């Protein structure tokens, strides 16, 4: 059990690293709306959600998953907003901390490649209480697990259970994917909701 002094030092170290991340301007020339890192970290969080990158609404509000994808993700996880945004229990650290812009053919651009290699190794080790990490979308899965096919990884969700669980990105495009893969709702989500309840208890 860490002492009060050790806990205070750990919180100070994470706060300092988070302040540096929020002040980051490394990718500024490539960001159409400018830098605005959006993430939430704490030394006590037990659940870590690694997503893709902020969309425009998240960029505007500074609140992660404050959009339709976030509502869908919370429904998948069986979590209300109060629990989801309780930073003492849930950390949110996307692969790209800032909105990356749009692709010419539509859809958000990939997370900037400079971001996760710079900030994840500095922030993640300062969150020692994490028991479960959700990899939301293929970019998060590739960053943590290496190259692979998203559906195959999600189907084989017990491969890294109970420390890591891969999920599809919760955009409207996943509606058809869910219909093609009924095991996601029937098998994965009930098991995941029970695991999250246990982790956050």
Please tell me the predicted confidence (pLDDT) of residue 172.
86
* Residue extents of the structural domains in the chain: 35-200
- The Cα–Cα gap between 133 and 32 comes to 30
Report yes or no: 81 and 126 within 8 Å, Cβ to Cβ.
no
Which one is the CATH code of 35-200: 3.40.470.10, 3.40.50.2300, 1.10.3720.10, 3.40.50.1360? 3.40.470.10
Strands 132-136 and 47-50: parallel
Residue recorded with tokens 């190794």? 121
Chain-centre distance for alpha carbon 63: 12
Element (H, E) at 22: helix 4-22
- The Cα–Cα gap between 101 and 85 comes to 25
E strands present in 76-152: 90-92, 132-136
- Mean pLDDT by groups of 10 residues along the chain of 201 residues: 87 98 97 98 98 96 96 97 98 98 89 98 98 98 97 97 97 92 98 98 94
Chain-centre distance for alpha carbon 129: 16
Tell me the pLDDT tens digit for each residue of 172-187.
Answer: 889 999 999 999 999 9
Tell me the pLDDT tens digit for each residue of 37-78.
Answer: 999 999 999 999 999 999 999 999 999 999 999 999 999 999
pTM over 0.85: yes
Q: How does DSSP classify residue 40? A: B
């Amino acid at each position: 059990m860490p002492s009060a002094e050790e806990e205070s030092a750990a919180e100070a170290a994470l706060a300092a690293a988070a302040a540096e991340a929020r002040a980051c301007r490394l990718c500024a020339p490539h960001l159409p709306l400018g830098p605005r890192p959006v993430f939430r970290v704490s030394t006590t969080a037990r659940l870590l959600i690694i997503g893709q990158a902020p969309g425009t609404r998240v960029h505007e509000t500074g609140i992660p998953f404050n959009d339709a994808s976030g509502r869908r993700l919370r429904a998948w996880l069986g979590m209300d907003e109060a629990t989801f945004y309780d930073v003492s229990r849930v950390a949110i650290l996307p692969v790209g901390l800032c909105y990356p812009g749009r692709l010419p053919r539509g859809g958000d651009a990939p997370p900037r490649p400079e971001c996760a290699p710079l900030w994840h190794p500095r922030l993640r080790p300062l969150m020692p209480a994490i028991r479960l990490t959700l990899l939301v979308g293929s970019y998060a899965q590739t960053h943590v697990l290496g190259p692979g096919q998203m559906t195959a990884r999600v189907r084989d969700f017990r491969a890294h259970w109970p420390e890591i669980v891969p999920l599809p990105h919760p955009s409207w495009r996943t509606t058809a994917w869910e219909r093609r893969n009924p095991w996601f709702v029937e098998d994965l989500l009930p098991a995941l909701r029970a695991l999250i309840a246990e982790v956050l208890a």
